[in-house]
Structure 1
Amino acid sequence: MSPRNGAPTRSAIVAAASALLESGGPDAVTLRSVGAVAGVSRSAAYRHFEGKADLLAALALQTLTDLATSIRDTGGHSGGGSSLHRGCRAYLRYAVEQPHHYQLIFGDAPIAEPSREIESAADDGMHALGKLVECAQAEGELGEGSPRELATVLWAFLHGLAQLQITGHLREPRTIEGDAGIDKLLTLALSALRPAR
């Protein structure tokens, strides 16, 4: 008798946890509630994950992977704006549309002891931003400089903009309304980074 394939059950558990996270934040993610939403036995979640922290770490890994993929896929395709603008827009869209996932990674309670896989996924995300920078430099949209340093500056800007929008600080009359104007802010910031002609 061959061993049972647990991958579909694990995938269902992670998908359920992802839905619960986005609808109710980290407090909504318990192994019991995840098992109920996934439609698996109460003990199934415990067979695949040591506890809530382990399950949240799996979501963090998935989030980092999805964010890097979104940057690459959108930045590399043709469409409105430059590849740099499209990749940055993809970053912001992901963060704003999935705020609890984004906050799981970059909020005030990050994963306490990130695994090697999570660290590697975070590095891959910065690599995706670095590739956007290198492409923008080749196209004359960004000036000379270390792609790594420029990618760090770009990430700091995107993160700040995403956090301000997620936490509701981009609103009239104090600032431009984030719901309608976040892309305008992105365009202004990227134009300020463009080298002088």
Structure 2
Amino acid sequence: MEQAVGTRDLLLAAASNLLTERGPDSVTLRQVGAAVGVSRTAPYRHFRDKDDLLSAVAAENLLRFEAEMRLGAEDTAAGGTPVYRAFLAYVAVACERPAHYRLIFGDFQINNPSEAQQAAAAACVNYLYELVEQGQRDGTLVLGDVRELTSLLWATLHGLVDLTLSRHLREPLTVEGLTSMPGLILTMLNAFAPPAS
């Protein structure tokens, strides 16, 4: 059993590498198996098809987003509010692994997301809800429907990341995306702060 777990992990790592190098269309069970040095049929013992493999890669990365946001939010030495720090961590993960970010949020469609991917996505979104609720409780975010505010903040953050990754958010037309990101996130959160009394 240990060998099967090890092989699955190797296959996921190979798929992740292929995704980084060539994008989701080039990730096939055959190429992943060849990269690991197993038979052509070995990957099928762990994944039904390409969608199942990419869904597992997406699930791993969604869990990474959640974990890094949690770590960021808890890092009080970094300054700012927990939601600010979590959003900075979100951007860092997205920019470190743009192909993985696009697999999850881009045009490529995983036709049958696995239960693991759906659970990881739910955990990530639920953590965003927690952050917004915390911001509302501590008075740094405006009161209102948590789901709506979370959706709006996440969509704005996603837009900042997407424009940065696609190189549309850059000098001289706009501010430089990555270097300006802390200020952009702060401005975004300030726009959703309660009015000063």
Q: TM-score, normalised by structure 1?
A: 0.91
Residue 66 (structure 2) pairs with residue 51 (structure 1):
no
Aligned match for 2:32, one of 22, 34, 37 = 34
Q: 1:127-161: per-residue Cα shift (whole Å, max 9, x none)? A: 11111111112221112112222111111111111
Query: In the alignment, which residue of structure 2 is the partner of 1:60?
Result: 58
Residue 52 (structure 2) pairs with residue 69 (structure 1):
no
Q: Cα–Cα, structure 1 residues 27 and 140, in superposed 2: closer, same or farther, change >3 Å?
A: same
The aligned runs of 1:79-118 (5 Å cut-off) are 79-80=77-78, 81-118=80-117
Query: In the alignment, which residue of structure 2 is the partner of 1:24?
Result: 22
The aligned runs of 1:138-177 (5 Å cut-off) are 138-177=137-176
CA RMSD, 1 decimal: 1.7
CA distance in 2, matches of 1:174, 1:166: 15
Q: 1:40-61: per-residue Cα shift (whole Å, max 9, x none)? A: 3333222222222221111111
Q: 1:11-66: per-residue Cα shift (whole Å, max 9, x none)? A: 11101111221122113322232223324333322222222222111111112121
SS at match of 1:111: coil
Query: In the alignment, which residue of structure 2 is the partner of 1:120?
Result: 119
CA distance in 2, matches of 1:179, 1:84: 18
Query: In the alignment, which residue of structure 2 is the partner of 1:78?
Result: 76
Q: Shift of the alpha carbon at 1:5? A: 4.3
- Contact 2:135-2:141 at 8 Å conserved across structures: yes
- Amino acid in the other structure paired with 1:193: F
CA distance in 1, matches of 2:77, 2:142: 23
Equivalent pairs counted in the alignment come to 195
Q: Shift of the alpha carbon at 1:110? A: 2.3
CA distance in 2, matches of 1:118, 1:111: 10
CA distance in 2, matches of 1:113, 1:39: 27
Query: In the alignment, which residue of structure 2 is the partner of 1:183?
Result: 182
CA distance in 1, matches of 2:20, 2:30: 17
- Amino acid in the other structure paired with 1:66: R
CA distance in 1, matches of 2:5, 2:178: 38
Identity of aligned residues (%): 44
SS at match of 2:54: helix
Q: Shift of the alpha carbon at 1:4? A: 6.4
CA distance in 2, matches of 1:72, 1:103: 21
Query: In the alignment, which residue of structure 1 is the partner of 2:136?
Result: 137
SS at match of 1:144: coil
Q: TM-score, normalised by structure 2?
A: 0.91
CA distance in 2, matches of 1:160, 1:189: 12
- Amino acid in the other structure paired with 1:46: Y
Residue 1 (structure 2) pairs with residue 7 (structure 1):
no
Q: Which moved more, 1:108-117 or 1:145-154?
A: 108-117
Q: Cα–Cα, structure 1 residues 127 and 30, in superposed 2: closer, same or farther, change >3 Å?
A: same
